[in-house]
């Protein structure tokens, strides 16, 4: 009996859930329940996996701390995979400590990585980096090494350190082949592939083209004055001014940046920023106020000069102006970018990852659903949202910062 448990565990360790199930599918003892749960998770049957793992925790009883802790880590990872980001982090941390205390170093590291991956998903690469740097076990098994390098590459991508991301991915590719786990090999290959897809559009007055993430990185360290419409900020010489909470000001700035070095008429600015059809004196007054606010925000980096027609952007040192935009722009593009990983997201996870209110998320999802760009299944708290992946674009790479929906 015990040998079958071990064999099933071995099969799962090399990513072969079918071989594992051939050993334990007919058994209901606690270990078998746990292994069935892990196998179901490897098959993407998350709901069934959760039920089995919870059954295992109950069956193990309070004395079997180690086994229970393993189940909790597995459950946390399932929550992560099903984009249910609100699960109790505390339980995961406790499980990790239990595993460490009982000498299960491998699963303890794994638990830490599950936490780091969650932090990465909710846009906290710095915190995720602390988790990965916290321990550097001399030699990890290849599968764990792969996951570590995937996290490192994810952090590097979020920080726009593409060269570093690529070298981590090279390492991940090597160790994933050593691990010989098909799903892991494929996952690494997908990330590598995504770096070869357009991550953004570069817009100037003269042209507009798609760029890879490498070019975005180069641009960020160039001398250009960059209006970053992916993360709603302005950059010049490493200085960043965030306009995340100022959508109207950002629109004014972007319109002027796209026209640079020419000016933009007052009428056009009013139409674009206030979505107004006709322009009357009250709108012109409001425009003056908003331009004044924008001038104050941009003070160290650029001036906004009035012309006879309207306004023109003048970056310090007469630098080149470029606009960096999402590869596909639409009203709720950030939600689509998040969902473009092809996973099923809960609306609360989207709210957490974008730092939005639950209601704004719901409104965005309803709008997208009415255009058939997203679909949902399940009900109530179990409701999940997904999109058919948009081929040909790496919308996920430049995940936007939190952006209020007005």
Q: How far apart are CA 128 and CA 232, in angstroms?
A: 23
Q: How far apart are CA 360 and CA 370, in angstroms?
A: 15
Q: Smallest distance, Å, CB 73 to other proteins?
A: 5
Closest to other proteins by CB, 70 vs 332, is: 70
Which range of residues in 175-183, 214-222, 303-311, 378-386 is near other proteins by CB under 8 A? 175-183
- Please give the size of the binding site for other proteins, defined by CB under 8 A: 62
Q: How far apart are CA 344 and CA 341, in angstroms?
A: 9
Q: Smallest distance, Å, CB 373 to other proteins?
A: 21
Does residue number 349 form part of the binding site for other proteins (CB under 8 A)? no
Site for other proteins in 31-50 (CB under 8 A): 31, 34-36, 38-45, 48-49
Task: Say if CB 169 and CB 153 are below 8 A apart.
Answer: yes
Pick the binder of other proteins from 58, 126, 133, 183 (CB under 8 A). Answer: 183
Residue whose tokens read 């730092």? 355
Pick the binder of other proteins from 182, 378, 388, 392 (CB under 8 A). Answer: 182
Does residue number 247 form part of the binding site for other proteins (CB under 8 A)? no
Closest to other proteins by CB, 11 vs 256, is: 11
Q: Is 87 exposed, middle or buried (0-12, 13-18, 19+ CB in 10 A)?
A: middle
Pick the binder of other proteins from 21, 156, 334, 399 (CB under 8 A). Answer: 21
Binding mask 280-299 for other proteins (x = CB under 8 A): --------------------
Site for other proteins in 128-157 (CB under 8 A): 138-145, 147
Q: Smallest distance, Å, CB 93 to other proteins?
A: 15
Site for other proteins in 106-125 (CB under 8 A): 106-107, 110
Closest to other proteins by CB, 47 vs 126, is: 47
Does residue number 85 form part of the binding site for other proteins (CB under 8 A)? no
Binding site for other proteins (CB under 8 A): 2-10, 12-19, 21-23, 25-26, 31, 34-36, 38-45, 48-49, 70, 73-74, 77-78, 81, 105-107, 110, 138-145, 147, 181-184, 186-187, 190
């Amino acid at each position: 009996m015990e040998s079958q448990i071990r064999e099933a565990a071995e099969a799962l360790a090399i990513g072969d859930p079918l071989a594992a199930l051939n050993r334990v599918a007919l058994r209901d003892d606690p270990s078998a329940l746990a292994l069935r749960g892990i196998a179901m998770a490897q098959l993407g049957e998350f709901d069934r996996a959760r039920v089995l793992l919870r059954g295992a925790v109950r069956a193990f009883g309070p004395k079997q701390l180690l086994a229970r802790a393993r189940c909790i880590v597995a459950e946390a990872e399932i929550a992560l995979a099903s984009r249910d980001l609100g699960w109790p982090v505390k339980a995961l941390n406790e499980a990790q400590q239990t595993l460490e205390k009982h000498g299960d170093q491998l699963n303890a590291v794994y638990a830490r990585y599950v936490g780091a991956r969650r932090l990465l998903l909710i846009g906290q690469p710095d915190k995720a980096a602390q988790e990965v740097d916290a321990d550097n076990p001399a030699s990890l098994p290849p599968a764990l090494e792969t996951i570590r390098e995937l996290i490192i590459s994810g952090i590097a991508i979020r920080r726009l350190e593409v060269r570093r991301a690529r070298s981590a991915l090279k390492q991940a590719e090597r160790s994933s082949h050593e691990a010989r786990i098909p799903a892991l090999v494929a996952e690494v290959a997908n990330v590598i592939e995504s770096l070869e897809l357009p991550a953004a559009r570069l817009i100037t007055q003269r042209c507009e083209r798609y760029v890879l993430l490498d070019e975005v990185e180069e641009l960020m360290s160039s001398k250009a004055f960059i209006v970053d419409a992916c993360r709603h900020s302005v950059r010049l010489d490493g200085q960043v001014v965030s306009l995340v909470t100022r959508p109207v000001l950002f629109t004014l700035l972007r319109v002027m940046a796209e026209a640079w070095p020419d000016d933009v008429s007052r009428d056009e600015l009013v139409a674009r920023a206030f979505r107004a059809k006709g322009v009357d004196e009250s709108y012109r007054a409001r425009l003056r106020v908003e331009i004044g606010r924008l001038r104050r925000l941009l003070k160290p980096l650029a001036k906004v000069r009035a012309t006879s027609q309207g306004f023109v952007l003048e970056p310090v040192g007469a630098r080149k102006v470029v606009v960096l935009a999402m590869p596909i722009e639409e009203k709720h593009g950030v939600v689509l970018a998040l969902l473009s990983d092809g996973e099923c997201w809960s609306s609360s996870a989207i709210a957490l990852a974008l730092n939005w209110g639950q209601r704004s998320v719901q409104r965005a999802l309803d709008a997208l659903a009415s255009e058939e760009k997203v679909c949902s299944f399940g009900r109530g708290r179990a409701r999940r949202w997904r999109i058919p992946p948009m081929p040909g674009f790496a919308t996920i790479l430049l995940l936007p910062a939190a952006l209020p929906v007005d």
